[in-house]
Amino acid sequence: MAPKKSKKTADSINSRLALVMKSGKVTLGYKSTLKSLRSGKAKLIIIAGNTPPLRKSELEYYSMLAKTAVHHFSGNNIELGTACGKLFRCSTMAIIDAGDSDILSTTAA
């Protein structure tokens, strides 16, 4: 039963990510995510499952300082890039404006 639930939540996250990519404002990648965290514009940080531990802890530290929510994506960086509708890998992303999506309220809870 547990894998079925995680599959359903992964599907809902993927559909919300697609809506954010369409109607909101995001930055993809490590450097631009750090820039948006430092400037205080990021509302949510999404980190792929296979991000290196040092990079992951650095992003978590910056988001703690900026009081920004962090969501650990269950898939790897290839799956996160695919969920964003891109044809490349993406280890981290920052959501600056959610647009029509309710991803900020669902992932923070």
Give me the tens of pLDDT residue by residue for the chain, a chain 109 residues long: 445 556 677 778 888 888 999 999 999 999 999 999 999 999 999 999 999 999 999 999 999 999 999 999 999 999 999 999 999 999 999 999 988 888 888 776 5
CATH of domain 2-108: 3.30.1330.30
Q: CA 68, 42, 79: angle at the middle one, nearest 5?
A: 95
Q: For the chain, give every domain's residue range.
A: 2-108
pTM: 0.87
Backbone region of residue 85 per phi and psi (left: phi > 0; alpha: psi in -120 to 50; beta: other values): left
Q: Which residues contact 95 (CB under 8 A, 6 or more apart)?
A: 20, 24, 25, 26, 42, 43, 44, 45, 46, 103, 104
SS3 28: strand
